[in-house]
Amino acid sequence: MNKTARSPKPAPKQTFEGVHPSLATTQDDWLASQKIRLLMSLRKAGVTDTRVLGAMENVPREQFVEEAFRDRAYDDNALPIACHQTISMPSVVAMMTQMLDVKPTQCVLEIGTGSGYQAAVLAKLARRVHTIERHAPLAEIARERFTAMKLRNIDSHIGDGSKGWPHAAPYERIIVTAAAPEIPQTLLAQLSIGGKMIIPVGLHVADQFLLRLTRVAEDEVRKEVLSPVRFVPLVAG
C-alpha cells in the first residue's frame, strides 16, 4: 500500500540581520524599518524642517541606487552609481535641502543630476526643478525614474552644469552637488535677487566647504561657510 505523500514544509521567510523576525520578514519590511531608523537619525542630527523630513520619507531612495546596493539604500553612506559617480549620503541631501530653504512657489536649479535622488526630494518642495547632468546615461536613467514616479515638475537637461541653465533663469534657489574650485560667477548671475545658492567649494577634497550664498542685491552677495564636505569635482564641458 502506498503511503500518503506529505506536503513539503513551506520555506522559511527571509529575514534581515539586525531586525527581529516579527518586525521584518521581507525586503520591503526591512527597507521600511531602515527608513524609519534613518529619519530618526536625521532628526537627531539637526534636520528639523518637517517639509524636508516629509520629502525624505516620501522619496524611495532604493529606487535610485544600483540593485546590488538596494538593501543598503537607507544606510547613511554615499553609494556608487554609473559613470564613476555617487549618490550622496542621505544626511547630506537632507541638510543641504534644509539649508536651501525651498518654498512651494519657487523654481530650483540643480547642478549635477546624478541618480536623480536630490532632484526628486526637491520636487516634493518646489514648484519646479530644473536639473542638469553632463553624463547622458545618468540623465536618461534619472528621467526614467522621474517618469515612473510621476514627478512632472522636474525638467531634466543634458549639458555643462558649470554654465547653469540660463534658458529658465533667474532661479530663486540653486543647489550644486559637485565641488567647484571657486564660486562660479555664471551660476551667481542666474540667481534672483533674494535667492540662495548652496554649493561645495574647494580645489581639493580635504579643503572643501559647503557655502550658502544669498544674493541680497544686484552687485552684493552674502557668503556663509556652513561645514566641511567631500564631493566629486564640478567638471566643465
Strands (DSSP E) contained in 27-88 are 79-80, 86-87
Closest residue by Cα to residue 84 from 213, 232, 208: 232
Closest residue by Cα to residue 215 from 230, 195, 201, 234: 195
* 88 catalytically annotated: yes
Name the catalytic one among 88, 115, 156, 162.
Answer: 88
For residue 101, give the amino acid letter.
Answer: D
What's the sign of the alpha-carbon dihedral 86, 56, 160, 231? negative
Rounded-to-integer distance, Cα 197 and Cα 171, Å: 9
Closest residue by Cα to residue 201 from 166, 227, 174: 227
Beta partners for residue 217, in sequence order: 220
Residues acting as catalytic residues: 88
